């Protein structure tokens, strides 16, 4: 199959300026995007640095607050130590009064208690227990039980709470961790802090232990200022200590911080390694791997070194702070794209203009070629006229019509080729052509070159000529001589046909009238002999009943039945004739009510029948009342008759979705291939013995429906009932 040649691409090649313009637009885009990225990167780095500096500052502030809180514990303990400067050993009541005056629960809620631990040998412990018993302070029980070289039981512990009261008597010196801190405080004369321990209060209360520590200060005899380790050991009376939980310490220290940090506190040993489990760890610290920033500080306090590890929220939380930077980046990219678009539009404008000019030139050339081809190969004569009505150009079809070559037609007056040509008329028509801007048509007689006359139909239309060319009109000249002759012959035939149709219609009307008169007279003439036959047969049967045998009486009954049947046929024939003669007077009808009335009459005639009848409400149409009632009486009467052998018998009157009314029953039905016979007069599909009738009911129904402009159809399956669907107008016909 040969391929269709493709039209040549008329776009000019891209010029050097066009390529340079595109390159410049691309350079502008890259430069602007680079500047936007550098600005965004610098702002991002600055913002991240500011966020990290803020985080580090908050971490240092938190470390200072925690260290300050530990310092408050030291001041609290030193105040209790100063109490021993005025009293060699205060009583339990004096200690309680002093602690109550400090109001620990309000001022230091994170400090569990303020206590005093006495150092005693077994003999000194026994003397202390006797002295306390004699002074009415009660029996001091020391636990855990056992014989040790030195004891360090808790003597006083306030404020007075059940947990603190239960902890009194616990030997802190019996536990290595506490004993190490107590020895260090005794030998150095400075406060010392234990590593992570579980407080005795948590142990006696059987609650889940929380990591904590003890801050201990040594208490020497009043007035002593021992300067050596041996002197301090010899002068030691005991220790004042402050027990605390690390979590409560951190919570209270950072309670006034503007923003909490995720923190973990680790107690380090001398080698800088964790001395045990963390003293405190924020529950959210487990997500430290996704943290944006991390910081670590160290607190050197009371012989211990704490490492405070801070982490910020995840980087996703920090992105909210950088949202404005993303907006700036998006705006910058959009601005860069706009600059690129403007530069690209400016760069491509000239190239597009050149291509557009080339396409317009090619389009004009092709349009001119199509116009020339249309004129050249057109079967209708065409010519271009100037302002004076002279032929500027003509096609071969016009030359054949006039009978001259194209070369001889150029320059001649167009009107000179017509039979009614005159100079003044030609001038007038030329002026009308100039004044008229629209299309007009005319029919004139052309004088052919051979002398023949041709009838032509001309169409004048304004067309623009090329610049400098005097072309104002295009005229099409169509030879309609043969067509006009054919039209004249058709008109003559139509006139004769109309006359024949009128004559035939008149004859048919007379024939129909004669046929109706004949049918009416025949039916009336037949009734007289039928009545005589019926009457004499009845008399014969009544008067000579005893003379006739059974066969004779049967013959008489058959004669009377045949006469009755003949009478019914004559009555049906008259009814058919009356349907064709009467006029139609359409009115709005309620088919639902009309059908209900007919069914009521059928029930009254056969009260013993049990028939289920369903009539859809709101069935409305327009038609002649008597004819439409006749239609429904025939359809419902047939449904009533042919469903008599069904148990139960059902009849339905309704309307199909397409608008057609229907009467449906579950009676005997009929073979669908014989549906056309149902609507023919005197055609029956069932025997007279099975179902009586004359065979004209459905023919009457069809004639009534057709007189109303509708259609009727029948559908059935043998033995499964029948459906008759018909249409009637819904609106009255226009007058």
Q: Judge contact between 276 and 91, C-beta under 8 A.
A: no
pLDDT band at 735 (very low <50, low <70, confident <90, very high): very low
Q: Judge contact between 705 and 712, C-beta under 8 A.
A: yes
Q: How far apart are CA 143 and CA 56, in angstroms?
A: 47
> Does residue 105 carry a pLDDT above 60?
yes
Q: How far apart are CA 109 and CA 586, in angstroms?
A: 106
| Spatial CA neighbour of 212 closest among 183, 186, 247, 239 | 247
Global pTM reads: 0.47
Q: Residues 315-326: what's their mean pLDDT?
A: 65
Q: Residues 356-370: what's their mean pLDDT?
A: 82
> Does residue 509 carry a pLDDT above 80?
no
> What pLDDT, on the 0 to 100 scale, is given for residue 12?
46
Pinpoint the alpha helices (H) of 479-548. Answer: 481-543
Secondary structure (DSSP) of 441-473: EEEEEEE-TTS-EEEEEEEEEE----TT----E
Poorest-pLDDT segment among 101-105, 393-397, 613-617: 393-397
Q: Which residues lie below 8 Å from residue 46, measured CB to CB, with a gap of 6+?
A: none
Q: How far apart are CA 700 and CA 633, in angstroms?
A: 11
The whole-chain average pLDDT of the chain stands at 80
In 313-452, which ranges are E strands? 381-385, 391-394, 440-447
Give whole-number Cα distances, 192 to 99, 534, 733, in Å: 21, 149, 119
pLDDT band at 320 (very low <50, low <70, confident <90, very high): low
> Does residue 696 carry a pLDDT above 70?
no
Q: Judge contact between 611 and 649, C-beta under 8 A.
A: yes
> Does residue 70 carry a pLDDT above 90?
yes
H or E stretch at 603: helix 591-605
> What pLDDT, on the 0 to 100 scale, is given for residue 7?
42
Taking only the tens place, the pLDDT of each residue in 430-448 is 555 555 557 778 788 877 7
Q: Judge contact between 185 and 215, C-beta under 8 A.
A: no
In degrees and rounded to multiples of 5, residue 85 shows phi and psi of -70, -30
> What pLDDT, on the 0 to 100 scale, is given for residue 14?
47
Taking only the tens place, the pLDDT of each residue in 25-37 is 888 888 888 888 8
> What pLDDT, on the 0 to 100 scale, is given for residue 1?
39
Q: Give the angle subtended at the CA of 239 by the CAs of 238 and 242, to the nearest 5°.
A: 155
Q: Residues 82-110: what's their mean pLDDT?
A: 87
Q: How far apart are CA 197 and CA 243, in angstroms?
A: 10
In 221-323, which ranges are E strands? 236-245, 262-268, 280-281, 294-301, 304-311
Q: How far apart are CA 9 and CA 124, in angstroms?
A: 119
> What pLDDT, on the 0 to 100 scale, is given for residue 9?
46
Q: How many CA atoms lie within 13 A of 116 on its CB side?
A: 26
> Does residue 2 carry a pLDDT above 50?
no
> What pLDDT, on the 0 to 100 scale, is given for residue 306?
93
């Amino acid at each position: 199959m040969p391929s269709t040649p493709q039209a040549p691409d008329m776009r000019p090649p891209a010029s050097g300026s066009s390529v340079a313009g595109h390159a410049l637009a691309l350079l502008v885009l890259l430069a602007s995007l680079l500047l936007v990225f550098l600005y965004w990167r610098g702002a991002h780095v600055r913002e991240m640095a500011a966020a990290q500096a803020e985080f580090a500052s908050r971490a240092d502030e938190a470390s200072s607050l925690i260290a300050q809180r530990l310092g408050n514990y030291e001041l609290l303990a030193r105040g209790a130590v100063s109490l021993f400067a005025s009293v060699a050993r205060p009583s339990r009541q004096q200690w309680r009064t002093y602690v109550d005056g400090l109001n620990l629960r309000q001022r230091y809620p994170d400090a569990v208690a303020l206590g005093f631990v006495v150092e005693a040998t077994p003999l000194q412990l026994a003397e202390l227990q006797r002295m306390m018993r004699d002074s009415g302070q009660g029996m001091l029980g020391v636990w855990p039980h056992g014989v040790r070289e030195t004891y360090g039981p808790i003597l006083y512990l306030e404020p007075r709470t059940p947990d603190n009261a239960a902890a009194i008597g616990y030997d802190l010196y019996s536990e290595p961790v506490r004993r190490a801190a107590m020895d260090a405080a005794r030998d150095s004369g400075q406060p010392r802090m234990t590593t992570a321990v579980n407080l005795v209060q948590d142990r006696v209360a059987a609650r889940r232990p929380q990591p904590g520590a003890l801050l201990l200060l040594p208490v020497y005899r009043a007035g002593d200022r021992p300067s050596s380790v041996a002197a301090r050991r010899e002068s030691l009376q005991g220790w004042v200590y402050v027990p605390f939980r690390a979590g409560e310490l951190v919570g209270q220290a950072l309670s006034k911080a503007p923003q909490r940090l995720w923190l973990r506190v680790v107690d380090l040993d001398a080698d800088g390694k964790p001395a045990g489990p963390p003293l405190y760890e924020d529950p959210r610290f487990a997500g430290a791997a996704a943290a944006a920033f991390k910081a670590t500080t160290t607190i050197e306090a009371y012989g211990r070194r704490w490492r405070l590890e801070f982490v910020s929220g995840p980087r996703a939380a920090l992105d909210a702070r950088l949202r404005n930077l993303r907006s700036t980046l998006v705006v910058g990219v959009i601005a860069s794209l706009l600059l690129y678009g403007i530069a690209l539009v400016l760069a491509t404008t000239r190239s597009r203009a050149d291509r557009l000019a080339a396409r317009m030139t090619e389009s004009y050339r092709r349009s001119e070629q199509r116009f020339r081809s249309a004129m050249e190969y057109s079967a209708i004569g065409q010519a271009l006229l100037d302002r004076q009505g002279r032929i500027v150009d003509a096609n071969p079809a016009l030359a054949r019509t006039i009978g001259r070559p194209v070369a001889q037609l150029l320059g001649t007056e167009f009107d000179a080729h017509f039979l009614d040509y005159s100079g003044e008329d030609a001038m007038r028509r030329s002026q009308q052509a100039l004044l008229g801007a629209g299309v007009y048509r005319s029919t004139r007689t052309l004088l052919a070159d051979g002398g023949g006359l041709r009838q032509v139909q001309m169409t004048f239309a304004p067309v623009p000529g090329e610049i400098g060319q005097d072309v104002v009109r295009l005229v099409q000249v169509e030879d309609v001589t043969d067509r006009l002759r054919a039209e004249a012959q058709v008109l003559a035939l139509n006139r004769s046909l109309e006359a024949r149709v009128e004559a035939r219609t008149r004859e048919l009307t007379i024939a129909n009238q004669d046929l109706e008169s004949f049918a009416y007279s025949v039916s009336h003439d037949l009734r007289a002999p039928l009545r005589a036959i019926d009457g004499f047969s009845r008399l014969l049967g009544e008067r000579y009943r005893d003379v006739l045998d059974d066969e004779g009486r049967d013959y008489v009954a058959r004669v009377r039945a045949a006469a009755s049947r003949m009478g019914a046929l004559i009555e049906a024939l008259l009814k058919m004739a009356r349907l064709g003669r009467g006029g139609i007077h359409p009115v709005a009808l309620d088919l639902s009510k009309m059908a209900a009335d007919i069914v009521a009459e059928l029930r009254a005639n056969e009260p013993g029948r049990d028939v289920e009848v369903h009539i859809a409400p709101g069935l409305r149409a327009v038609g002649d009342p008597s004819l439409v009632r006749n239609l429904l009486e025939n359809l419902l009467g047939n449904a009533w008759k042919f469903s008599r052998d069904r148990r139960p018998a059902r009849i339905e009157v309704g309307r199909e979705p397409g608008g057609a009314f229907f009467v449906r029953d579950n009676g005997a039905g009929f073979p669908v291939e014989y549906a056309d016979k149902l609507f023919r007069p005197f055609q029956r599909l069932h025997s007279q013995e099975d179902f009586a009738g004359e065979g004209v009911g459905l023919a009457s129904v069809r004639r009534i429906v057709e007189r109303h402009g509708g259609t009727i159809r029948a559908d059935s399956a043998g033995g499964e009932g029948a459906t008759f669907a018909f249409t009637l107008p819904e609106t009255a016909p226009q007058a």
